[in-house]
Amino acid sequence: MVIQHYDARNDVRELVELLAAKHDVVLFADERMLRGVLAPCEKRPFKQRLRPSDRFWLQAWNFFGELPASRNNFLVTELFKLAPLSHARRAIAFARLWLRMRLPSLMSFDFLLDRLVGSDMTPVDDIDRFLVITELSSPRFLSRALRAGKRVDAYVYSWDHACKHATFSTRVYRWLVWHDGITDDLVDLQRLPRERIFAVGSTQLAYIYEYLGDPELRERRVPQRYVYYGCGVGYPEMARQEARLIGLVAEALQDVAPDVALVVRPYPMLAETDFFETLHKRPNLRFDDDYRSGRKDRSLSREAIFERLNLQEHAEAFVHCGTTMGLEGAYFDSPVLFLDLEDFDYADEKGGFTDLRRFIHQYHNERYMIRDGYPNVVRRSRHLSATLSSLLADPNRFRAYNRSLAADIPLRALTDVVDRLVDGA
């Protein structure tokens, strides 16, 4: 099993434990990531050498590698990866990204894999099958596994991975996805063969399945009325614009319902939050950020996950401009509002790389969230107050949007998803 972001994904940790209870599991990753793995299975770090030719081809890929048809998603994802860097390193990386977005795509990912043969020496002869969790952590290791004639399956971990990553190989035996919509995304955006793609369910959404089945977890924990806002932006320049958007929501809510609080959940991976200071001064706004303190890694405890789901379920509404929480909220009766404000001043260069509109209009948001015919998608700033007022008075007419989103992705227990990952859909 080839893992990535193990320290941030609770469901992947549980997935590994469930697989290890029934199968002999070997985890492959870089040595640093494997140090944090506590699951009862063998841990085998990549054993790689970087030859001059490998360095050349990897650098060539970084500039001329083929991008998904949804280039905007790729851009936003790469920007998020720059957020932890120092300002100087971020400026250099931003320039490289700017250049890549303008250069022609001359290399397919399979072309790169052919050029990396021999750059990985990790032992794989005793492995029957590989399962890769996207995003792929090492092209060199994938080249090694495929060259050894091993069967490689890949699980598209999230609903936006098909449209934001570039490392998709036609040589993977089976692609495993949440639902049939992502099958279409892989075919349209990554040009993968449809007959190799199978819907198995979502490990991320399995927590909602568990939560909905436990009356004790669902008991309301916050007595007062509130609207819940979930931040989705992890790049500082975009997060500043989202902070302005949150301020607008707080003003609109104060106008129509002064007794209803606005609870804001910052993006978990966002390090810079100084631009939230003015929001702290608003009397009707508080932050749901206790989960950010005292963490030993980037993951959340199961208790913290269920606390968040409880906040979503019992809110008067869940508001966002693009986050997986907006999809999760669709499984509750609390109406989900998507903000696509075309007339709002985000205080940034319109159309630039860091324009928040790029984040809002990513492929997966337009395909799954920005749905015509529903009052839940707010497109004009002047309509926000009226929409909130109408929702608070009569939430029923806003719930059809939730049901429409949730109908696309049936919930499954994590054990069910794991079995389908192994046995097929």
User: Where residue 22 sits, what CATH number does that domain have?
Assistant: 3.40.50
261 and 337: one domain? Answer: yes
Grade residue 348 by pLDDT with cuts at 50, 70 and 90: low
> Which of 4 and 96 is assigned the larger pLDDT?
96
249 with 341, same domain: the answer is yes
pLDDT of 33 above 80: yes
**One domain, residues 274 and 312:** yes
Tokens 């997935």 sit on residue: 15
Residues 196, 285, single domain; the answer is no
Same domain, yes or no: 199 and 132: yes
Same domain, 224 and 335: yes
CB atoms within 10 A of CB 370: 16
Please count the residues of the chain.
Answer: 425
User: Structural domain of residue 279, as residue ranges?
Assistant: 211-407
Higher pLDDT, 65 or 35: 65
HSE at residue 90, side-chain half, CA atoms within 13 A, is 12
DSSP 67: P
Where would I find the beta strands (DSSP E) of 46-124?
none
Asked, for residue 11, whether it belongs to a domain, the answer is: yes
Kindly state the tokens that stand for 352. 């630039």
Token reading at 406: 């949730």
Taking the C-alpha atoms of residue 346 and residue 408, their distance in angstroms, rounded to an integer, is 32
Across 84-173, the runs of DSSP E, i.e. the strands, are 129-133, 151-155
Q: Provide the 10 A C-beta neighbour count for residue 85.
A: 13
Compute, in degrees rounded to 10, the torsion defined by CA atoms 369, 370, 372, 377: 100
Residues 140 and 170 placed together within one structural domain of the fold: yes
Q: What is the pLDDT of residue 352?
A: 83
- State how many domains the chain has: 2
pLDDT digits (tens, 9 = 90+) for 153-179: 999 999 999 999 999 999 999 999 999
- Whole-number Å distance between alpha carbons of 48 and 64: 23
Both 280 and 397 in one domain: the answer is: yes
Whose CA is closest to 401, among 366, 364, 372, 363?
372
366, pLDDT greater than 60: yes
Residue 70 lies in a domain: no
Q: How far apart are CA 162 and CA 135, in angstroms?
A: 10
The confidence score (pLDDT) of residue 90 equals 92
Could you give the count of Cα atoms lying within 13 Å of 106 in the half-sphere of its Cβ?
11
Nearest Cα neighbor of 2 from 179, 165, 146 is: 146
Query: pLDDT for 92-112, tens place per residue?
Result: 999 999 999 999 999 999 999
Task: Give per-residue burial for 111-136: e unless 16+ CB within 10 Å, then b.
Answer: ebbebbeebbebebeebeebbbbbbb
Residue 382 covered by a domain: yes
The answer to whether residues 180 and 291 belong to one domain is: no
Terminal-to-terminal C-alpha distance of the chain? 19
Q: Is 60 a member of any domain?
A: no
In a domain, 58, yes or no: no
Verify that 157 and 242 share a domain, yes or no: no
Q: What is the CATH number of the domain that holds 224?
A: 3.40.50.2000
In tens, the pLDDT along 14-30 reads 999 999 999 999 999 99
Across the chain, what does the average pLDDT equal?
93
**40 and 70 Cβ atoms separated by less than 8 Å:** no
- What is the SS3 assignment for 191? coil
Determine, yes or no, domain membership for 56.
no
Question: pLDDT grade, residue 370 (50/70/90)?
Answer: very high
Residues 234 and 296 in one domain: yes
In a domain, 17, yes or no: yes
How far apart are alpha carbons 223 and 146 in whole angstroms? Answer: 55
**Which of 61, 90, 68, 162 lies closest to 354 in space, CA to CA?**
90
If asked whether residues 215 and 164 sit together in one domain, one would say no
Q: Report how far residue 284's alpha carbon sits from residue 226's, in angstroms, rounded to the nearest whole number.
A: 9
User: pLDDT at position 6, please?
Assistant: 82
Count of beta carbons in the 10 Å neighbourhood of residue 176: 26
Which residues contact residue 23 at a Cβ distance below 8 angstroms, ignoring those fewer than 6 apart? 422
Whole-number Å distance between alpha carbons of 377 and 321: 10
Across the range 76-88, mean pLDDT stands at 91
In percent, the amount of the chain with pLDDT more than 90 equals: 82
Cα dihedral sign for 153, 154, 155, 159? negative
In a domain, 98, yes or no: no
pLDDT tens-digit readout, 266-304: 998 787 788 888 999 999 999 998 766 655 556 788 899
